[in-house]
């Protein structure tokens, strides 16, 4: 089994691995000395000028060699006696010894020896490796010259040969196709693809297989899914109320960009500055959603600037981590403690992102309606159909035909429609100012009392009235332009009461009893019926989701018996607002009445004056009346016409498909940026202008001094970090660990690369290829390094548990999304539709409401059905405060901020999810059905079929025996207990094939459950 | 640099229930699977620690565990714990600028023209030998005042709920840092292999304007996600996905797990990846949880005297009292950090109407928990905490007749008990207006430092390196409040 023939003691490897270098006499500053100085000295003697002690900085040679404030020379190269540093780190006296007792950790004897040797050898400094641009690397010579398949392998083999290790053999074909399939598409291979690959004996079969996966639409989805972690993408706004947003259109842009193989430099420039490109296109502006993916608060009472500052910080910190691999956020409050980025330089970078015309509170703007690139063809289809329908609709003959039809139909239907009432008196119990507007609505303003009763009177001459209509209209003077008077635009109408009084004889009075109330919209828990139930207790009343829905609403109240006195009726309305929320009054009510029959009532009826005209025969109508009719008809062309219904349906679809999405913009007059003392929004100090840190090459001379200039600077070939950081992340994704393990920190505190020459070579190759992402992946997965077997036995595993020397192939548990997608794929249930609005698959009941049940600000998880249950996990609705438990259990982050790498844990909660989660149980029973119906005739064949679907390989005899025995036992059990079998087969929404033997089907489902729980099922290796 | 690979990677990949010696214990778990007797054993409270960092605790701890009853929304200190006879004279007078000192107000009252002081309408009395003042709204807490330490001088910088509660839970106002409980799981490991070491319970909310909660409040931030709190729910499965939707009795689950282990073990022999052994052990733990968790949340084995102590509410799952009782049961079973979230204290109007309801919802269960732990000799080793994310203003929000109280970060009261805290004392003083701290301020960072101290941890030395920096719960601040320690 073992390919590594050399026997090396564990002890010697542990000594070797920490620094990942062969022990050498020559001290190297970057490898041996800087980590000691950084961890033990830089806090007081490093780049941060504010906390620097004794004027000494040790991160720069020239200052370490100078005389310190004490007059002593800290380091004298080659002279231990004269070097104050050595005296201080070895001093016996606690007051003299460095680092001080209350400061950093003390130095070990070994570290002191290292520093001694270094000074003896001349105290050479090296610039930090990551700040030096990558250099052309010679391809190393190797002994095992037969092994390498491409240049990557030369670098890898040279390293293992130096360590005296050997490479593992090539993995089996089944392992390879499964590994490549997961790595490039996030999905397991189909059996058709496995069989084709196994039988393809041509020398280029592997490369062909790789290319097929690179060209699959699933590639873009899989690549995008990783990018979403970096981009802290979510479908909700985070912070407190975590309301919904519509950034999925941006998510579709990312999928599309990967599938089109947009080069990484363009991918970068468009996301960071697409809005600033000359002749910017909507799709380029859509790309800038990247930097609007941060959380946005709507908590009442926050200070706008405080949160706006946080958004800008988030943008800069995210951009720094994703492209520079640097923790520049440290310099928000003070000069960076380890890396050469001063606080001033931080705010110069900050200035690039500080020009968005945005707010802190509800800071959603700027927004733009841009279609998803994946919906473009669908969109075009819609547009063509709309154009056709509209042309038909506007054809004069067609209009005439419909007009005649309409006048005839309305004339034949009895009823008088709604008559709007003119208010004659308006009283407020709480002191609001009520003003009658021209349209007879009543606008409330002025004082906004906690509780309020409006008393409105109006007159009508009609009798036999059947219902009263109340419209709650919106107005620009009302908060948020909504229908209610509360700051969140909501109202709660506790109770609606009406009395009819005879105009002729005021003693004739009648309280109108209502049998029903109907509204075109009610907030959950605040239904319209609560306005006529006679109680106001417990905040009982009608509300309309003002915080999220700022639209007019209409209600009607149907009387138990017709009302209205001959000779005129005075109607007295009471609108009681008595909920404890305070200031929740209706902002602009309007009243109407009707005499139409109770069963024909509609909220929006034809006005009575139009009905009156229509009641005349066409020859009786005056020219004016005909014009009035025609105008009304043309202005209200909605309703029963099938053409219009079709248009409305398409437009609705279109509008939902193109929501307003958050994008970046720069203000015409940019904000002035200041350094913020301790990073606090309200402590601005010196003014700064845009700029990049001095440690890096400068921006091009003629570059625009804005985000566009910054983005182009990031992808200029001279930049030392961008290409390295990107290729390292690709490596990390494929191998589990990057060449630089700290993929989020290439700075001084980060780890040194395990294969520095390989990293440089890959970075330059990436730039040389024109930043071609697919090519880079092709290069890596085609290497012999990638194709190695991961199965090397416990001893070899133990020698290099993390495979930092790349002596074997990658093996790791797949990510949460891949686990779910794989279960769906092997069950045959996966719906592979690319892009679109996020969906709501299964999740345990109550998870949303148990964290937030505040009326108007909360809702239950709107579980989807049908296809929505079986889409890829990238489309699962991502709510920041309650991420999908299916994903979170397997280490998906909350997406509150940029995540460069997820943790990979192994917990009992994961076992419970795979064993019991309805999504997985349903997938298993469907897989069982596949085994039974597609897997052949014998039990062995059927089980083998399922096993291959899940693992791509055939089970060993020992494995098959275990599974068959399990199956046989279960068939017996289920034959005696049909109820248990049906219980299993009914988990989930989909149905099972009833013509199959229930006991056998359940037993296969049981085997499938076992298969989906195998370690191998959730591991690529 | 010490061995970075071994340091972090090994820790990252080991489940915290089994810790460093995972291979060994994993094998033990495999063996136990074949021997059902081993599984039936109740875990003992003295079980060896599982996981955690070497060298921690730094010194002998007073507390083994924490029960934190978090009162989200911010209870009014003036009406519950901070007795202010001085307000009799000041009632309905304008809060002077000399007291307010131009302090930042929330958007809710910043534009209010007048700031009339409103005294508490409830009577305060002294109780116990300690003579601690408690308002009549907390009659049961009045009975345990000699066991608790009331801190009247808490303060924070945050003035809105989200940043304030995030600060209390993680030491930072913006999301992204690990919660207290996850720091403890990370540092101290677990005392039980049948239950998670950090458990969260949410009380059902009854107040219509309650603030939402968010998963990140018990999240693990940049620590591995296995350190996050596990929610025990009062509806559906107590732990997500605990029950088999196609359950056909334990026999079949056992049969399946035995075969699963067999197949995984076959694979492990070929590959040599210890993660497989770990996974086998996780399935065993999951299996045990399917028994241990329902047994834990089923309180029908409690004697009637328990319900007398905790009140009838304790029979209703999801009430504060029921969660307090469960907290005690979790504590008995070795869970390290138990947090109960109760919402509804955010009374911007009508304090007189709403506050008594909230006090009633929490009073008896909280007091019963103290008494119960004490009679079981567990209070000494259990740190119990009760408090919100900030306090409430002495001035009225809105009309003083139906007064509300706005957010007030400058001073507020919490209480701590057991686990190394001095019993029967009040600590810190506020001024006559209950607006500023007059003596012994306690900042949120100090509060965190003190909790860690009680658990034997030097708050400056429980760190995690992330993005090149050693982070800690107390950032670069925090003092241990020695005055309140035994």
Contact: B271, A582; criterion CB under 8 Å: no
Give the per-residue pLDDT at A399: 81
Q: What is the pLDDT of residues B69-115, one digit of tens each?
A: 999 999 999 999 999 999 999 999 999 989 988 777 777 787 788 89
pTM for this predicted structure: 0.79
Pick from A813, A854, A973: CB nearest B212: A854
Question: In angstroms, how far is the first alpha carbon of chain A from the final one?
Answer: 16
Strands B407-408 and B148-155: unpaired
**Chain A residues touching B347 at Cβ < 8 A:** none
Pairing of the two strands B442-443 and A673-676: unpaired
Chain A CB contacts of B278 below 8 Å: 906
Please report residues of A whose CB lies closer than 8 A to that of B340.
none
For residue B249, what pLDDT is reported?
Answer: 55
Nearest to B216 among A19, A302, A896 (CB): A896
C-alpha span between A298 and A360 (Å, rounded):
9
Other beta carbons within 10 angstroms of residue A513's beta carbon come to: 12
Mean pLDDT of A741-755: 91
Question: Is the pLDDT reported for residue A658 higher than 90?
Answer: no
Q: Do A852 and B213 touch (CB under 8 A)?
A: yes
Q: A383 or B238: whose pLDDT is higher? A: B238
- Asked if B407's CB is within 8 angstroms of A301's CB, the reply is yes
Nearest by CB to B108, which of A301, A327, A751?
Answer: A301
pLDDT of residue A641: 66
Q: For chain A, say whether B24 makes contact (Cβ under 8 Å).
A: no
Tell me the nearest-neighbour CA distance from B188 into chain A, angstroms: 17
Interchain CB contact of B159 with A (< 8 Å): yes
Asked if B39 reaches chain A (Cβ–Cβ under 8 Å), the answer is: no
Residues 6+ apart with CB under 8 A from A677: A683, A684, A685
The structure tokens 């399935």 sit at B283
Q: Which residues of chain A lie closer than 8 angstroms to B10, CB-CB?
A: 801
Region A977-992 average pLDDT: 93
The pLDDT tens digits of the residues spanning A150-163 come to: 999 999 999 999 88
Q: Which of B361, B412, B363 is nearest to B388 (CA)?
A: B412
C-beta of residue B470 within 8 angstroms of C-beta of residue B440: no
Residue B94: which domain range?
Answer: 54-246+306-484
pLDDT band at B38 (very low <50, low <70, confident <90, very high): very low
Query: Could you tell me if A436 and A423 are in contact, meaning their C-beta atoms sit under 8 angstroms apart?
Result: yes
Closest chain A CA to residue B213:
A851
CATH of the domain at B429: 3.40.720
- Say whether pLDDT at A20 is over 70: no
Q: Is residue B3 part of a domain?
A: no
Task: Quote the mean pLDDT of chain A.
Answer: 90
Distance from the A207 Cα atom to the nearest Cα atom in chain B, whole angstroms: 26
Best probe of the B interface among A10, A15, A736, A905, by most B CBs < 10 A, is A905
> In this complex, do B212 and A851 lie within 8 Å of one another by their Cβ atoms?
yes
Sorted by sequence, the CB contacts under 8 Å of residue A889 that are 6+ apart come out as: A816, A907, A909, A910, A913, B240
What sign results for the dihedral spanned by CA atoms A94, A98, A102, A106? negative
Written as one string, the DSSP assignment of A453-465 is EEEEEEEE---SE
In a domain, B327, yes or no: yes
Cα distance between residue A932 and residue A1002, in whole Å = 10
State the Cα–Cα distance between residues A821 and A218, nearest whole angstrom.
11
- Cα radius of gyration rounded to whole Å, chain A: 36
Flag if A916 and B243 touch (Cβ within 8 Å): yes
Residues of chain B with C-beta less than 8 angstroms from the C-beta of A17: 3, 5-6
- Count of positions (residues) in chain A: 1021
Over 70: is that where the pLDDT of B251 sits? no
If we measure between CA atoms, which residue out of A310, A797, A366 comes closest to residue B173? A310
> What is the rounded distance in angstroms from the CA atom of residue B281 to the CA atom of residue B283?
5
Model confidence at A845: pLDDT above 70: yes
Q: Which residue in the set B160, B176, B215 is minimally distant from A301, CB to CB?
A: B160
Indicate the SS3 state at residue A514. Answer: strand
Is B47 near chain A, with CB under 8 Å? no
Instruction: Answer whether A882 sits within 8 Å of B267, measured CB to CB.
Output: no
- Is the separation of the CB atoms in A522 and A555 below 8 Å? no
Among B228, B238, B232, smallest CA distance to B198 is for B228
Q: B286 CA to chain A: closest CA distance, Å? A: 5
A528-542 pLDDT per residue, tens: 989 998 888 878 899
Distance from CA of B177 to the nearest CA of A (A): 11
The number of helix segments (H) and strand segments (E) in chain B equals: 16, 17
CB nearest B259 (choices: A238, A748, A1010): A1010
Question: Is A491 within 8 Å of A578 (Cβ atoms)?
Answer: no
Residue of B215, B254, B389 to mutate, testing the A interface (most A Cβ within 10 Å of its Cβ): B215
CA–CA separation, B171 and B13 (whole Å): 26
Contact B240 A889 (CB under 8 A): yes
Percent of chain B with pLDDT over 90: 73
Asked if B282 lies within 8 A of A897 by C-beta distance, the reply is no
Chain B residues whose beta carbon lies within 8 Å of the beta carbon of residue A1013: 260, 283
B460 lies within 8 A of chain A by CB: no
Provide the ipTM: 0.84
pLDDT per position as a tens digit, A345-398: 999 999 999 999 999 999 999 999 999 999 866 777 788 888 888 888 788 888
| Residue A856 DSSP one-character state | T
- Per-domain residue ranges of chain A: 29-125, 173-215, 418-605, 916-1020
Please determine, for residue B26, whether its predicted confidence score (pLDDT) is greater than 50.
no
| B396 lies in some domain | yes
Under 8 Å between Cβ of A46 and A337 = yes
Q: Which chain B residue has its CA at the smallest distance from A525's CA?
A: B208
Distance CA B240, CA A909 (A): 8
Mutate to test the interface with B, among A915, A953, A965 (most CBs of B within 10 A): A915
* Residues A661-692: tens digit of each pLDDT: 999 999 999 999 999 999 999 999 999 999 99
Q: Which residue of B has its CA nearest to A925?
A: B246
Residue A84 has pLDDT above 50, yes or no: yes
pLDDT in tens, A506-530: 899 999 999 888 888 888 889 898 9
Vertex A266, ends A264 and A270: CA angle to 5°?
Answer: 120
Which residue in chain A is spatially nearest to B344 when comparing CA positions?
Answer: A854
pLDDT band at A414 (very low <50, low <70, confident <90, very high): low
Burial label for B485, CB within 10 Å (0-12, 13-18, 19+), is middle
What is the rounded average pLDDT of the residues A782-805? 89
**DSSP output for A653-717:** HHHHHS-EEE-----SSPPPEEEEGGG-TT-EEEEE-----TTSPPPPTTS-SSHHHHHHHHTST
Q: Which residues of B touch A450 (CB under 8 A)?
A: 349, 398-399, 402
The DSSP string of B224-265 is: -GGGSPEEEPSSS-SSTT-S-TT---HHHHHHHHHHHHHHHH
| Cis peptide, bond prior to residue A366, ω within 30 of zero | yes
Question: Do B245 and A910 count as a contact with CB atoms less than 8 A apart?
Answer: no
Residues with Cβ < 8 Å from B142, sequence gap 6 or more? B125, B127, B128, B134
- Mean pLDDT over A833-837 rounds to 91
Cis peptide before B237 (omega within 30 of 0): no
Rounded to an integer, what is the distance from CA A815 to the centroid of its chain? Answer: 16
- The pair of three-digit structure tokens given for residue B484, joined into one six-digit string: 């309140």
Residue B93 lies in a domain: yes
> What's the rounded Cα separation, in Å, for the pair B187 and B460?
13
CA distance B20 to A879: 34
pLDDT at A54: 81
Q: How high is the pLDDT of residue B5?
A: 35
Helix (H, G, I), strand (E, B) or coil at A802: coil
Per-residue pLDDT at A37: 87
* Residue spans of beta strands (DSSP E) within B286-411: 337-343, 382-387, 391-392, 407-408
Lowest-confidence region among A94-98, A270-274, B375-379: A94-98
> Residue A30's CB: how many other CB atoms inside 10 A?
16
In a mutational test of the A interface, the residue from B221, B248, B287 whose CB has the highest number of chain A CBs within 10 Å is B248
Query: What span, in angstroms and rounded, lies between the C-alpha atoms of B149 and B49?
Result: 30
Chain B's closest residue to A1013, CA to CA, is B260
DSSP-based helix, strand, coil % in chain A, nearest 5: 45, 10, 45
Are the beta carbons of A796 and B272 separated by less than 8 Å? yes
For residue B250, pLDDT beyond 70: no
User: In B, residues 318-337, which contact A (CB 8 Å cutoff)?
Assistant: none
C-alpha dihedral sign at A590, A596, A602, A604: negative
Asked whether the beta carbons of residue A980 and residue B213 sit closer than 8 angstroms, the reply is: no
Out of A161-165, B351-355, B408-412, pick the least confident: A161-165
Comparing CB atoms, the residue among A19, A903, A959 nearest residue B225 is A903
* pLDDT > 60? residue A738: yes
Chain A contact for B272 (CB, 8 A cutoff) = yes
Q: Is the Cβ of B271 closer than 8 Å to some Cβ of chain A?
A: yes
Choose which CATH entry (2.50.20, 1.10.20, 1.10.10, 2.60.120) describes domain A418-605.
2.60.120
Phi, psi torsion values for A374, nearest 5 degrees: -80, -15
For A544-595, how does the pLDDT look when each residue is reduced to its tens digit (9 = 90+)? 999 888 889 999 999 988 999 999 999 999 999 998 888 999 999 999 999 8
Mapped onto helix, strand or coil, the DSSP state of residue B214 is coil
B4 vs A1003: which has the higher pLDDT:
A1003
Confidence of residue B274 (pLDDT cuts 50, 70, 90): confident
Q: Residue A979 is encoded by which pair of tokens? A: 């109820």
Closest residue of chain A to B269, computed from CA coordinates: A793
- What was the pLDDT predicted at B95? 93
Of B216, B226, B465, nearest to A881 by CB-CB distance is B216
Statement: residue A1 has pLDDT above 50: no
Residues of chain A contacting B244 with CB distance shorter than 8 Å: 915-916, 921
Min distance A134 CA to chain B CA atoms (Å): 22
pLDDT at B15 over 70: no
Q: Which residues contact A132 (CB under 8 A, 6 or more apart)?
A: A720
From the list A301, A904, A915, which residue is nearest B107 (CB)? A301
């Amino acid at each position: 089994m073992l390919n590594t023939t050399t026997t090396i003691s564990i002890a010697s490897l542990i000594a070797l691995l920490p620094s990942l270098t062969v022990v050498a006499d020559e001290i190297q500053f970057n490898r041996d000395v800087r980590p000691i100085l950084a961890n033990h000295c830089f806090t007081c003697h490093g780049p941060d000028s504010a906390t620097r002690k004794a004027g000494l900085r040790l991160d720069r040679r020239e200052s370490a060699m100078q005389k310190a404030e004490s007059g002593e020379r800290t380091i004298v190269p080659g002279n231990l006696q004269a070097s104050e540093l050595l005296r201080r780190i070895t001093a016996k006296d606690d007051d003299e010894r460095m680092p001080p007792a209350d400061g950093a950790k003390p130095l070990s004897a070994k570290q002191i020896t290292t520093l001694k040797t270094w000074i003896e050898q001349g105290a050479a400094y090296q610039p930090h490796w990551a700040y030096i641009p990558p250099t052309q690397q010679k391809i190393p010579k190797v002994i095992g010259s037969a092994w390498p398949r491409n240049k990557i392998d030369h670098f890898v083999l040279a390293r293992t040969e130096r360590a005296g290790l050997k490479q593992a053999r090539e993995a089996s074909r089944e392992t390879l196709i499964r590994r490549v399939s997961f790595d490039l598409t996030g999905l397991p291979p189909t059996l058709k693809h496995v069989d084709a690959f196994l039988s393809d004996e041509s020398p280029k079969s592997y490369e062909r297989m790789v290319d097929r996966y690179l060209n699959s639409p699933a590639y873009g989805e899989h690549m995008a899914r990783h990018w979403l972690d970096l981009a802290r993408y979510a479908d909700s706004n985070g912070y407190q109320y975590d309301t919904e947003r519509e950034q999925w259109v941006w998510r579709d842009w990312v999928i599309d960009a990967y599938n089109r193989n947009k080069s990484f430099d363009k991918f970068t420039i468009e996301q960071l500055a697409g809005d600033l490109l000359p002749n910017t296109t909507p799709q380029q502006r859509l790309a800038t959603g990247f930097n609007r993916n941060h959380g946005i608060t709507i908590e009442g009472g926050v200070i706008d600037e405080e949160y706006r500052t946080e958004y800008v910080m988030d943008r800069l910190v995210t951009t720094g981590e994703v492209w520079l691999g640097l923790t520049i956020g440290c310099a928000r409050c003070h000069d960076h403690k380890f890396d050469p980025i001063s606080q001033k330089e931080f705010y110069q970078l900050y200035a690039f992102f500080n020009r968005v015309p945005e707010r802190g509170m509800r800071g959603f703007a700027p927004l733009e309606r841009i279609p998803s690139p994946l919906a473009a063809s669908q969109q075009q289809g819609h547009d063509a159909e709309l154009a056709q329908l509209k042309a038909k609709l506007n054809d004069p003959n067609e209009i005439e035909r419909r007009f005649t039809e309409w006048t005839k139909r309305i004339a034949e239907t009895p009823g008088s429609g709604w008559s709007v009432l003119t208010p004659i008196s308006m009283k407020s119990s709480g002191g609001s100012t009520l003003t009658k507007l021209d349209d007879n609505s009543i606008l409330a303003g002025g004082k906004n009392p906690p509780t309020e009763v409006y008393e409105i009177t109006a007159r009508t001459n009609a009798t036999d009235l059947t219902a009263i209509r109340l419209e709650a209209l919106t107005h620009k003077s009302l908060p948020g332009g909504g229908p209610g008077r509360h700051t969140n635009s909501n109202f709660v109408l506790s109770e609606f009461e009406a009395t009819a009084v005879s105009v002729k004889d005021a003693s004739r009075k009648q309280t109108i009893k209502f049998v029903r109330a109907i509204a075109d919209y009610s907030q959950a828990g605040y239904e319209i019926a609560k306005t006529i139930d006679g109680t106001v207790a417990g905040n009982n009343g009608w509300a309309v989701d003002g915080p999220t829905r700022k639209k007019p609403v209409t209600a009607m109240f149907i009387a138990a018996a017709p009302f209205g006195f001959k000779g005129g009726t005075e109607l007295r309305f009471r609108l009681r607002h008595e909920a404890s929320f305070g200031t929740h009054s209706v902002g602009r009510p309007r009243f109407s009445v009707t005499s139409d029959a109770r069963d024909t009532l509609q909220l929006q009826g034809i006005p009575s004056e139009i009905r009156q005209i229509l009641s005349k025969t066409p020859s009786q109508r005056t020219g004016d009346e005909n014009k009035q009719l025609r105008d009304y008809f043309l202005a209200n062309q909605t309703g029963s016409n099938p053409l219009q219904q079709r248009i409305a349906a398409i437009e609705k679809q279109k509008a939902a498909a193109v929501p307003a999405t958050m994008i970046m913009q720069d203000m015409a007059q940019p904000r002035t940026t200041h350094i913020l003392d301790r990073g606090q929004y309200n402590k601005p100090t010196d003014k700064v202008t845009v700029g990049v840190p001095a440690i890096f090459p400068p921006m091009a001379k003629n570059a625009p001094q804005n985000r566009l200039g910054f983005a182009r600077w990031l992808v200029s070939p001279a930049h030392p970090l961008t290409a390295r950081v990107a290729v390292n992340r690709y490596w990390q994704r494929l191998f589990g660990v990057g060449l630089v393990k700290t993929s989020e920190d290439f700075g001084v505190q980060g780890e040194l690369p395990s294969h520095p020459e390989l990293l440089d070579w890959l970075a330059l190759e990436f730039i040389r290829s024109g930043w071609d992402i697919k090519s880079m992946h092709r290069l890596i997965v085609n290497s012999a390094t990638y194709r190695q077997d991961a199965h090397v036995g416990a001893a070899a595993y133990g020698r290099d548990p993390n495979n930092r020397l790349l002596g074997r192939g990658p093996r790791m548990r797949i990510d949460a999304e891949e686990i779910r997608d794989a279960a769906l794929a092997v069950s045959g249930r996966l719906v592979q539709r690319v892009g679109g609005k996020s969906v709501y698959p299964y999740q345990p009941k109550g998870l949303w409401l148990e964290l937030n049940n505040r009326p108007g600000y909360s809702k239950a998880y709107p579980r989807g059905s049908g296809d929505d249950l079986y889409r890829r996990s990238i489309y699962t609705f991502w709510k920041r405060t309650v991420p999908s438990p299916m994903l979170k259990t397997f280490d998906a982050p909350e997406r509150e901020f940029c995540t460069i790498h997820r943790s990979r844990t192994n917990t009992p909660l994961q076992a419970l999810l795979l064993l019991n989660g309805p999504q997985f149980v349903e997938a298993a029973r469907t897989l069982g059905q596949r085994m039974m119906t597609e897997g052949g005739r014998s039990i062995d064949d059927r089980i083998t079929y399922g096993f291959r679907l899940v693992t791509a390989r055939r089970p060993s005899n020992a494995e098959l025996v275990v599974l068959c025995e399990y199956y046989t036992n279960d068939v017996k059990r289920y034959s005696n207990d049909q109820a248990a079998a049906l219980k299993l087969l009914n988990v989930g929404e989909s149905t099972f094939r009833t013509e199959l033997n229930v006991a056998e089907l359940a037993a296969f489902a049981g085997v499938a459950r076992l298969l989906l729980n195998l370690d191998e099922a959730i591991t690529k290796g | 640099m010490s061995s970075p690979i071994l340091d972090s990677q090994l820790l990252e990949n080991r489940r915290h229930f089994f810790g460093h010696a995972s291979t060994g214990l994993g094998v033990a778990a495999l063996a136990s699977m074949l021997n059902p007797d081993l599984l039936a054993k109740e875990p003992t409270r003295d079980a060896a620690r599982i996981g955690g960092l070497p060298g921690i605790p730094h010194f002998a701890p007073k507390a083994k565990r924490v029960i934190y009853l978090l009162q989200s929304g911010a209870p009014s200190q003036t009406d519950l714990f901070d007795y202010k006879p001085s307000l009799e004279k000041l009632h309905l007078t304008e809060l002077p600028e000399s007291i307010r000192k131009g302090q930042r107000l929330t958007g809710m009252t910043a534009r209010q023209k007048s700031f009339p002081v409103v005294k508490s309408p409830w009577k305060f009395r002294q109780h116990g030998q300690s003579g601690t003042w408690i308002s009549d709204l907390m009659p049961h807490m009045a009975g345990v005042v000699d066991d608790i330490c009331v801190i009247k001088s808490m303060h924070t910088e945050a003035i809105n709920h989200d940043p304030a509660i995030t600060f209390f839970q993680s030491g930072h106002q913006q999301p992204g840092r690990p919660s207290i409980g996850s720091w403890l799981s990370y540092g101290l490991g677990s005392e039980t292999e049948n239950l998670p070491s950090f458990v969260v319970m949410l009380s059902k909310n009854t107040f219509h304007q309650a603030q939402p909660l968010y998963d990140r409040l018990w999240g693990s931030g940049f620590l591995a996600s296995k350190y996050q709190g596990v929610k025990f729910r009062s509806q559906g499965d107590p732990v997500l996905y605990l029950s088999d939707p196609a359950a056909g009795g334990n026999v079949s689950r056992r049969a399946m797990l035995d075969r699963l282990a067999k197949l995984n073990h076959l694979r492990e022999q070929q590959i040599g990846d210890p993660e497989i052994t770990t996974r086998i052990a996780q399935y065993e733990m999951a299996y045990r949880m399917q028994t241990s968790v329902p047994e834990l949340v089923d309180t029908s084995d409690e004697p009637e005297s328990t319900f007398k102590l905790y009140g009838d509410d304790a029979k209703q799952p999801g009430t504060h009292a029921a969660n307090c009782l469960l907290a005690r049961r979790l504590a008995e079973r070795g869970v390290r950090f138990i947090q109960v979230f109760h919402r509804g204290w955010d009374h911007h109007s009508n304090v007189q109407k709403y506050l008594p309801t909230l006090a009633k919802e929490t009073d008896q269960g909280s007091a019963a928990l103290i008494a119960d732990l004490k009679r079981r000799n567990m209070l000494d080793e259990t740190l119990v905490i009760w408090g919100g994310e900030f306090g409430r203003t002495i001035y009225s929000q809105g009309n003083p007749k139906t007064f509300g109280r706005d957010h007030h970060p400058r001073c507020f009261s919490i209480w701590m008990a057991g686990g190394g805290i001095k019993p029967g004392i009040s600590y810190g003083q506020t001024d006559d207006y209950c607006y500023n701290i007059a003596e012994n301020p306690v900042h949120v960072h100090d509060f965190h430092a003190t909790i860690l101290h009680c658990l034997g941890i030097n708050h400056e030395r429980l760190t995690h390196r992330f993005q090149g920096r050693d982070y800690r719960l107390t950032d670069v601040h925090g003092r241990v409040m020695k005055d309140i320690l035994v």
